[in-house]
Chains A and B, each alone.
Chain A
């Protein structure tokens, strides 16, 4: 399924495309004929229940997994035709657990991919300072800390900085703010929008939280039973009457209603 603007606006190339992708984990089908196109520079949020196959979609994009049938196309090449290591270095990855290396400093963590790419150290250093600033951390204060000396929010900022380090065109985010408390999460949402305004990456973000999807994404897709139930701009999805989409929207409407009566 394609979302309307990408279909109509032919001037914008699609950065990532899924064409009739089937994928099973053992005997358990996860994706059954999944299709999707994502335009460069868009932020697509995929929403679905736990176990709907959201993380699988991200792993198919950076070739941690390969489809059983169908194609995943990144920058007009199927993932199987990519050198997997090169592909992964062009797709920053942010996950809920962050996964910072505990034995390395903040600076060394952020420098991981640039060093894999063989950047010279002066360039790496400049880039680390720049990125820490971008994610709102003071470079002098934080560069030499270990991950266990950071708060949860700070760790997630470092995680984002690390994913952006080599300026990859694609950013994959797996429940990136799911482990944060609501106040920090709201702050991170603001930060993400600010950063995305500056860097304009093609972002694929998966979440089980429809509110987060609406807060961050230019487009929202709902995943159900291994296929895309609906995809479009947030306003379109919010009006959907699809029985697979309503259960995800209702809690939001209830919350708004409660707030409304209290006012």
Chain B
């Protein structure tokens, strides 16, 4: 099976990701237990305080996890990229089931037993430890089981904020449209969920038979839990201390960005002595921008038009030079440096199937607008929202679709078009899949889309502290053509090659060429 081969080829990486995944789930579940059980006790004892807490936990549970990561990224202490914010989010999700079942477990205890304990002269604390908690324990464990299983699932999303875990493979596979890679992450996380569920079910059943619920055992478990929670907190505090001599390279979560991230990373590695930490595959423009501003990453590749509209919220402009200068100035004000363009532009590409283009004789967006009422469009989430995306497109060309456009993940969109699930998509002009699926890019004849020149953004402080890094990054300016980019995208997306390998060939090949233009 291809998945097995994949694991064999990536054994070290796989074990690391599995370990990260387990750490995320265990750490968050333990902290959630340490917080959730006392909150549950409070909610059972004092419903007036408890009800709002449970209400809050309920609301948290309804927030989609990706949105939650977005909310929390800019916050101090919990925010930032990596395991910290992921664990925080996972804790929030794990709280509700634990609080609920603790409260329910305590409330379901026979009143007679409480009365018996009280009449024997137990103080409230003694009653809680000796009678109420042991009796509620099976119910609490059931809540922990639910929380852990939810945690295994939600932790896959954590890859979007650079926390690692098995979600890395899922996101990577989605952006490469490679089901083998998706399965390489999805299968073990499903097995992990089943294993944890099974193990805790056994514990729960054992407790319901009262085989092990000795008071002393409970105390040991509580002590152990506190130790683990503290250890986790300490580990997080240590990991939060950012080391300064490492250059952190980020990228968004699609193939081209990962290749570019690798090219940037490998260029720094080959031309300087700095160590590079890769934080590739981050969940989109907003997350990358927040990450570079908070210092969680030092450098990534952005597109000028995207920066203009999506980051700085300026009206779209069609002049490439003007946009570049405006964006560079705005970045500079925020302590960031925009280097000269890499040499290619990745504009939004409005794509239709090649056969449709030939059959209907469509070449431009103006011509296509007439066909829109009979089409179903598929757009990425970002394109639907951005002012330089769908809303402006409708205004400029007068697209009126019969049904609202389908919101789809970028990684699925080309295949959806080829398989006739949708008839028009917004893709990337440099996508390797355009050639693979024989798609036709409609010409932006009214020059609606702003220029999207790819250029490196870096933290100015890093460039000043490490001039050799600045030189290495500057050496990339003007060196990547649209053809280069499409070829590399195709190598990864269609030929299923490793993004790092494809980037290496480019970096090595370029270094062996005479560098006439830059000297």
Which A residues are closer than 8 A to B by beta carbons? 62, 64, 84-89, 91, 93, 95, 97, 99-103, 112-113, 116, 146, 162, 172
Pair B113/A89 contact, Cβ less than 8 Å? no
Which B residues are closer than 8 A to A by beta carbons? 110, 112-113, 115-123, 126, 130-131, 134-135, 210, 213
Known: A88-B119, A88-B121. 11 other contacts (CB 8 A): A87-B121, A89-B121, A95-B116, A95-B119, A99-B112, A99-B115, A101-B113, A112-B122, A113-B121, A116-B121, A172-B119
Tell which of B110, B121, B210 touches A86, judged by Cβ atoms closer than 8 Å.
Answer: B121
A89 to B121, CA, bound (A): 5
Tell which of A64, A88, A101, A162 touches B131, judged by Cβ atoms closer than 8 Å.
Answer: A101
Pair B119/A93 contact, Cβ less than 8 Å? yes
Residue on A nearest B137 in the bound complex, by CB = A103
Q: Which residues of A contact B213 (CB under 8 A)?
A: 103
Tell which of B110, B119, B126, B210 touches A116, judged by Cβ atoms closer than 8 Å.
Answer: B126
Pair A116/B120 contact, Cβ less than 8 Å? yes
Q: Which residues of A contact B122 (CB under 8 A)?
A: 85, 112, 116
- Majority SS at the chain B contact face: helix
Pair A99/B121 contact, Cβ less than 8 Å? no
The minimal Cβ–Cβ distance linking B133 to chain A, given in whole angstroms, is: 10
The minimal Cβ–Cβ distance linking B6 to chain A, given in whole angstroms, is: 48
Q: Count how many pairs of residues, one from A and one from B, have CB atoms less than 8 Å apart in the complex.
A: 57
Pair B210/A146 contact, Cβ less than 8 Å? yes
A95-B112, A99-B112 given; A62·B119 CB < 8 A: yes
Q: Which residues of A contact B112 (CB under 8 A)?
A: 95, 97, 99
A12 to B134, CA, bound (A): 45
A91 to B116, CA, bound (A): 12
The minimal Cβ–Cβ distance linking A59 to chain B, given in whole angstroms, is: 8
Q: Which residues of A contact B115 (CB under 8 A)?
A: 64, 95, 99
Tell which of B113, B123, B126, B130 touches A99, judged by Cβ atoms closer than 8 Å.
Answer: B113
Q: Which residues of B contact A101 (CB under 8 A)?
A: 113, 116-117, 130-131, 135
Pair A93/B210 contact, Cβ less than 8 Å? no
Q: Which residues of B contact A113 (CB under 8 A)?
A: 120-121
A101 to B116, CA, bound (A): 9
A101-B131, A116-B121 given; A93·B126 CB < 8 A: no
8 tightest A-B CB contacts, nearest first: A99-B116, A88-B121, A89-B121, A93-B119, A97-B112, A99-B112, A85-B121, A103-B210
A97 to B119, CA, bound (A): 14
A146 to B213, CA, bound (A): 12
A99-B115, A102-B210, A103-B210 given; A93·B131 CB < 8 A: no
Can you spell out 27 A-B residue pairs with CB atoms less than 8 angstroms apart?
A: A64-B115, A64-B119, A85-B121, A85-B123, A88-B119, A88-B120, A89-B120, A89-B121, A91-B119, A93-B119, A93-B120, A95-B115, A95-B119, A99-B112, A99-B113, A99-B115, A100-B116, A101-B113, A101-B130, A102-B135, A103-B134, A103-B135, A103-B210, A103-B213, A112-B122, A113-B120, A162-B120
Q: Which residues of A contact B135 (CB under 8 A)?
A: 101-103
Q: Which residues of B contact A88 (CB under 8 A)?
A: 118-121
